[in-house]
Amino acid sequence: MTNKKVIILFGAIIVFGFAGIIIAKVSGPKPQQPSSAAATNNARQSSQSSIQGIDSVLNFGVSSDQESDLRYSINKYVTQLSPKPKSLAVKGITATPYDSTDPNARTAITFDLLADNVKLKATFQYFTLTGGNLMLTDNSGTTVYSSGDVDLSNSPPQS
C-alpha cells in the first residue's frame, strides 16, 4: 500500500470517528423507560417505615424479599388507620408447624404487631422465595386486615 492510500484511509477513519461522536452528542442519551425493577424498588422504599424488630423475621427463614412484602403489607394496613400510630413493633415471633402432607401448606410465622398501645396478632405466610401474605386479628380473633398474596419482586404494585 502506498503512502498516499494510507494517508487517505487514516483521514477517512478520523472523519468518520468525529462524525460518530457528533451524531451521538446531538442525538443525546435515550430516555429510560420505568422498569418493573424500578417499581419494585419504589414500593420497597415506600414500605421502609420504622417497624421495630421486623428484621428479626429473617431469623425464621423469611427472605429479604419476603421481609419487604411484610413491611409493605403492614404499611398498607397502617394507611387505613386514623390517627396513624406513632410507633410500630414486631414482638414474640414464633414459627408455626409446617404440614408437609398438605400440598397447599405454606410456611408461616406468628407475632404480635404493636401499633402504639394496640396489640394485634399477626400471621405471615411465606411462599416461593419472594412472596408473602399477612393476616392481622384483634383480641377477639376477628380479622382486621388481610393483605392477600404480595410479591413485590414478581408483581410490583401499580402506582
Q: CB–CB of 93/57 below 8 Å?
A: yes
| Per-domain boundaries in the chain | 36-150
Q: What is the CA radius of gyration of the chain?
A: 27
pLDDT score for 2? 65
pLDDT tens string 62-83: 999 999 999 999 999 999 999 9
Joined together, the cell numbers standing for residue 12 give 477517512
The dihedral over CA atoms of 82, 83, 87, 92, expressed in degrees to the nearest 10, equals -40
pLDDT score for 152? 94
Distance between CA atoms of 55 and 128, rounded to whole angstroms?
19
Give SS3 for 44. Answer: helix
Q: Does position 22 have pLDDT exceeding 50, yes or no? A: no
Residue 90, strand partner residues? 113
Q: What is the DSSP string of 8-38?
A: HHHHHHHHHHHHHHHHHHHH-PPPPPPPHHH
With 0.85 as the threshold, say if the pTM is over it. Answer: no
Burial of 67 (0-12, 13-18, 19+ CB in 10 A): buried
Q: CB–CB of 90/110 below 8 Å?
A: no
